[in-house]
Amino acid sequence: MNIENLQQLTQFQIDEQAHIIVDKEICKTCDHRACVQSCPANCYTFDEETKLLSVVYETCLECGTCYIICDKGALDWSYPRGGYGVCFRLT
Amino acid sequence: MAKYFDVIIVGAGPAGSLAALKLARAGLNVCLVERGQYPGAKNMFGGLLHNTPVLNEMLPDFWERAPLERHVYKKVLAFMTPESAVSLTFENENFEQPPYNGHTVFRPAFDSWLAAEAVREGALLLCDCTAEDIIKKDGRVAGVTVKGREGTLRGNIVIAADGVLSFMAEKAGLRKDFKAKNMGVGIKLLLGLPEATINERFHLVRDEGADISFVGTTGGMGGGGFLYTNRESISVGMVVHLDSLKASGKAPYEVLDELLQHPQVRKLVKGAVPLEYSAHLIPEGGFTAMPQVYTDGMMVAGDAAGLCYTNGINLEGINLSMTSGVLAAETAIKALEVGDYSARTLSLYKKKLDESFIIKDMKTFKNAAGMMHLERLSRTYPQVLAGILEKLYRVEGMPRSKLLRLARKEALKEVGLKNLIADGIKIGRALL
């Protein structure tokens, strides 16, 4: 399964308003950055050069794994506005 | 949008919709709030809708009208090592007739259907509404604010059936912060295959379905894998504990890939076309991780109330959810009759839960959550089993030992006496 093709497999109604906001300063000093590996949709990336964590909220499956796993208080996480976000058709 | 309702239900999942149906039938003014574009748009599970007596009672012909895939006829428990599989298969003619023991379903289809049943009886369904906060009046919960379609909904009672992360329960101060060890994440790939191919590969006829649980395919993490047959597709996935996932440093979809590449699984999924990928959290903390389920003006049902348990053999949640939804609705009906929505009146809900199979089963298996965290269960014991069987079956011109000696040697080699005793006690406490 190629996670890079997620958008071809699963449907999203993308909101211009992000439902996940990361506090990049906190993430700089995080000792595990478990969000990067644990996210089932591979939404998080950490740039070793700039030491910046970024999130692609557009393909978030809204499972909440990162929300539970982050123990640094770096995530402002909520469900997207009604009607937006992931839209399972089958599953 | 500003309305007043007898009951506001947050979440048109199985718990919320069945509660709405019950309340609507009682002639109450009920509003069902859903954040998806349609009910089920945000919902995912492994795939099995268990037999649920309250559902059968309220919709006696549901298996003729609901969008179901296959009824489960064959149960398989498979212990896997990278090169082998040891499985126990149970096929049962008694699971062939109504009330079936369970059906595979697609959540967008089933949840939409169930919500439509509630709407048909008079419930108001509002989609595209994410409940954002609770509204309090005179110290009790008296409504919710929503975003998407913006507005405020007020009512006498709120039933929070807003799923595993229940922000409503949090806002009402009913739950503590979640712990990673009490949560599992399920990921799943839906794979399309022709109906005839599924029937041949899994030895099924007509609407018969198979439910396979895999132990040992989670890359050493605590959890398990699953495979369910739908009519023209199969659902393959796995559930891992979040603490275990975090510690492993592994990406869940890579571990799922390993399952799909396993020699015995590869044959089952060969030629299948990926149709959809999904992920969802599961409240796996069991009885001891449950939040408070009621307060002034509010009750919590389904996943939101942590009503889910697994003991490795039974994985139940949707049946507990629907039953809790109905019990919350019954309590709301009583509260509306007497015109008192205080915690004292709504405590009846807790009493009903306690008396039902829901809390009884969750209490019976309250130690199972800890047992499921034994990583040796998904890492070492499948190796032991496969090791014993390989030695038992292999013919190579060497003298054999008797069965017990062989098993003891294999177990001691892989696990060690101390661990074996400790695990035995833990498993015994959970299941025996």
Query: Which tokens in the block code for residue A79?
Result: 């469900």
Of B28, B52, B153, B196, the C-alpha closest to B110 is B52
Q: Does domain B2-67+105-176+291-365 have CATH number 3.50.50.60?
A: yes
Buried b (16+ CB within 10 A) or exposed e, B283-298: bbbbbebbbbbbbbbb
pLDDT score at B315: 93
Contact indicator for A65, B242 with CB cutoff of 8 Å = yes
| Separation of alpha carbons B319 and B53, rounded Å | 9
Are A38 and B245 inside 8 Å of each other by CB? yes
The residue behind tokens 């309340």 is B23
Closest residue in chain B to residue A79, using alpha carbons only: B130
User: In A, residues 60-89, which contact B (CB 8 Å cutoff)?
Assistant: 61-65, 67-69, 78-89
**B94: pLDDT confidence band, cut at 50, 70 and 90?**
very high
On whether the CB atoms of residues B128 and A82 are closer than 8 A, the answer is yes
Please name the member of A64, A87, A90 whose beta carbon is closest to the beta carbon of B106. Answer: A90
pLDDT one-digit tens code per residue, A42-90? 999 999 999 999 999 999 999 999 999 999 999 999 999 999 999 999 9
Is the reported ipTM for this assembly greater than 0.95?
yes
pLDDT given at position B382: 94
User: Pairing relation of β-strands B294-295 and B273-283?
Assistant: unpaired
Distance between CA B416 and CA A26 in Å, rounded?
43
Domains in chain A, CATH or no CATH each:
11-82 (3.30.70.20)
> What is the reported pLDDT for B1?
45
Residue reference for tokens 């047959």: B229
- Mutation to test the B interface, candidates A45, A67, A88, most B Cβ within 10 Å: A88
- Residue-level length of chain B: 432
Q: What is the pLDDT of residue B312?
A: 86
Put simply, the answer to whether B246 touches A38 (Cβ < 8 Å) is yes
Within 16-35 of A, beta carbons closer than 8 Å to B belong to: 32, 34
Across the range B170-196, mean pLDDT stands at 96
CA dihedral B166, B169, B173, B178 (to 10 degrees): -30
Q: Please give the Cα distance from B408 to B403 (Å, whole number).
A: 9
Domain boundaries, chain B: 2-67+105-176+291-365, 181-283, 370-431
Going A8 to A12 to A13 to A14, the CA torsion angle's sign is negative
Would the CB atoms of A88 and B260 count as touching at under 8 Å?
A: no
Q: Does A82 sit within 8 Å of B253, measured CB to CB?
A: no
Contacts of A56 (CB under 8 A, 6+ apart): A43, A44, A45
What's the CA gap between B426 and B275, in Å, rounded?
A: 40
Contacts of B222 (CB under 8 A, 6+ apart): B240, B241, B243, B244, B372, B373, B374, B375, B377, B378
Given CA atoms B349, B352, B357, B360 in this order, what sign does their dihedral have? positive
Residue identified by tokens 């979640």 is: B178
Q: What is the DSSP letter of B288?
A: G
Q: Is B407 on the interface with A (CB under 8 A)?
A: no
- What mean pLDDT do residues B122-138 have? 97
B206: helix, strand or coil: coil
Cβ count near A86 (within 10 Å) = 22
* Chain B hits for A63, Cβ within 8 Å: 185, 279-281
Say which residue the tokens 């439910």 belong to.
B211
Write out pLDDT tens, residues B365-403. Answer: 999 988 888 889 988 999 999 999 999 999 999 999 999
Q: Between the CA of residue B15 and those of B186, B307, B325, what are the distances in Å? A: 20, 10, 4
Whether the Cβ atoms of residue B118 and residue B24 lie closer than 8 Å to each other: yes
Residue whose tokens read 């003006």: B297
User: Smallest Cβ distance to B41: which of A3, A41, A87?
Assistant: A87
- The answer on pLDDT for B363 being more than 90 is yes
Chain A touched by B39 (CB under 8 Å): no
**Which residues between 116 and 145 in chain B have a beta carbon less than 8 angstroms from any beta carbon of chain A?**
127-130, 132
Fold of B181-283: D-Amino Acid Oxidase; Chain A, domain 2 (3.30.9)
Residues on chain B touching A87 (C-beta within 8 angstroms):
36-37, 41
B25: nearest Cα among B156, B125, B119, B155? B119
pLDDT band of A21, cuts 50, 70, 90: very high
| Residue B159 contacts residue B123 (beta carbons within 8 Å) | no
pLDDT at B2: 45
Question: Nearest-CA distance from A47 to chain B in Å?
Answer: 17
